[in-house]
Amino acid sequence: MEVDWKSVMKPYPKRRIVLPNGEEMIVYSQTKDEIEQVAEAIMSNIKYHKDLFDLVTSEIITELYLWRENRPMWGCPPESHFNLVGKVGGEIVGCSNGALRDPKTGCSLHTITMKRGLQIGAYLWPCKLEHYFDVLGIERLEASAESAIGGRKLFATYGFTPQPFPEKKSHFGTQLQVMTREQWERIKPGKLVGERI
């Protein structure tokens, strides 16, 4: 099926979120000309092994560079890749990327933060869900928890459900889980914070 990805892929409307320390984080869609800047900003996490931040960071950087070179990632077309960036005072404090398998099916990739203890990941994750369902218009999101903290803090509380076939794995080798538009509409009021700007 031929897809006009330029018409499908819309930018995320900027969102302002007040962090627990009172600072404002602005979440927006990264452009391709920011790839090197974002990769450089998250590079320090390569040496942070707790919760597999080193692995996740390596994969995000690889995905950014695949996007730069217009190469497919995990079976998804490069034109469908996006990365939401969180900035505080111009400093990158986190990002959350994804891609689409087709115009109605999302493939969630990663969320990573540069500052611990401020719930940055917990704020970026629903922004990514908003982007998938409300901006891009998907009906189904496929994802898998790469670390225990992801499974415990995000997947379980967000209502993702495992595939009926436990052997169905994601590209990370862990159990594939799914969120539908109906599930997103149910949890959105309690999870999505901040305001569009």
| Domain chopping of the chain, boundaries | 12-191
Angle between helices 53-68 and 35-42 (to 10 degrees): 170
Q: What is the pLDDT of residue 63?
A: 96
Q: What is the pLDDT of residue 163?
A: 62
**pTM of the predicted structure, to 2 decimals:** 0.91
Tell me the pLDDT of the chain (197 aa) as tens digits.
689 999 999 999 999 999 999 999 999 999 999 999 999 999 988 887 777 778 889 999 999 999 999 999 988 999 999 999 999 999 999 999 999 999 999 999 999 999 889 999 999 999 999 999 999 999 999 887 776 566 666 666 776 766 655 666 666 666 778 889 999 999 999 999 999 99
Q: What is the pLDDT of residue 91?
A: 97
Residue 6's contacts (CB-CB under 8 Å, 6 or more residues apart) are 79
Q: CB–CB of 56/147 below 8 Å?
A: yes
Q: What is the pLDDT of residue 55?
A: 85
How far apart (Å, rounded) are the C-alpha atoms in residues 162 and 155?
10
Q: For 12-191, which CATH superfamily applies? A: Gcn5-related N-acetyltransferase (GNAT) (3.40.630.30)
Name the CA radius of gyration of the chain, rounded: 16
Q: CB–CB of 98/59 below 8 Å?
A: no
Among 91, 100, 112, smallest CA distance to 154 is for: 112
How far apart (Å, rounded) are the C-alpha atoms in residues 161 and 147?
16
